[in-house]
Structure 1
Amino acid sequence: MALDTADTRRQVPNAFKDDLIGLVPRLRRYALSLTFDGNEADDLVQLTLLKAWEHRGRFEPGTSLVAWLFTILRNGFINGRRKRSREVPDPDGAHAANLSEPPRQDHTLRLRDLQAAIGRLEPAHREALMLVAVDGLPYEAAASVIGCPSGTVKSRVSRARERLTRELGA
């Protein structure tokens, strides 16, 4: 279909198309000599034909089409082998199962739950907790900011932590 469409537009000379199709048996024979596997050889020939068709404008008329196609086929074979050498065999999927990452949305949901629980704290408890636990102020400095004794800050932070622990089940 693609050959016929290109042919009607006169983008591809008939000789190129006919030569390409005529060389399929030789390409397959060469691919079999490299792969020793019929299915892999067929895939390699198909890849070669696709690349040759895609880059048909690079082919220089008057040069050897066979050599050009064999070079494409050989490079495809070598690139495939390189790719396979970096792959880890995992027929039963056990290795892939060990590489999985826990879903990130679970962390996001827990964070939203924490934010909501903090929002439900009494304002005085929330303020003390944020100053001490989030901003890292010592109790005395937080007491100075709030304007109350440090014992009151300790009590508010403790109550806020207890409530969060109850609500979040931590």
Structure 2
Amino acid sequence: MAAISAATERQFLTTVAPCIPDLRRYALSLTRNAADAEDLVQETTLRATLKLHLWQPGTNMIAWLIVMMRRLHISQNLTGARNRAITTPIADWDVATPATQLQWIELREVGACWPRLSKDHRAVLELVAIGGASYDEAAATLGVPLGTIRSRLSRARICLREQHVTAH
């Protein structure tokens, strides 16, 4: 492994630290288990530290970390290392600002519909609608064309609307 300068390491740490809440939310959406999500965040940041020499300063750090996290998660699932049941509802996710009463109601309703969405729909909603990623960033993170992101996002929103209507 190449030697890492102190300046690059400081820049990496100051760039990664603000990404931790987003990584936690994304890990929780992948694992559906708070303990597994925390383990996945730790494994991702450890791997990122070990691969620091591959990171290009000035590039999108969160996209780099999310791709790494997604690959770790897929690898863990393929080996059967993590096959626990979904235990954490969407309403328990860490949010940046407190929600109003109406927002809590809407969040609970979305949370009830969330497990019925496909993994692809959840992934694109997590990146774009929850994580605030651009369509281009989401396409790069998920490794799919931009048009696929747009269509998945549209279909995911339609599914949520339909499930919300049928629930009432």
TM-score tier (shorter): 0.3 to 0.5
Q: TM-score, normalised by structure 2?
A: 0.44
Larger radius of gyration: 1
Q: TM-score, normalised by structure 1?
A: 0.43
- Taking CA–CA contacts closer than 8 Å with sequence separation of 6 or more, which of the two structures ends up with the larger relative contact order? 2
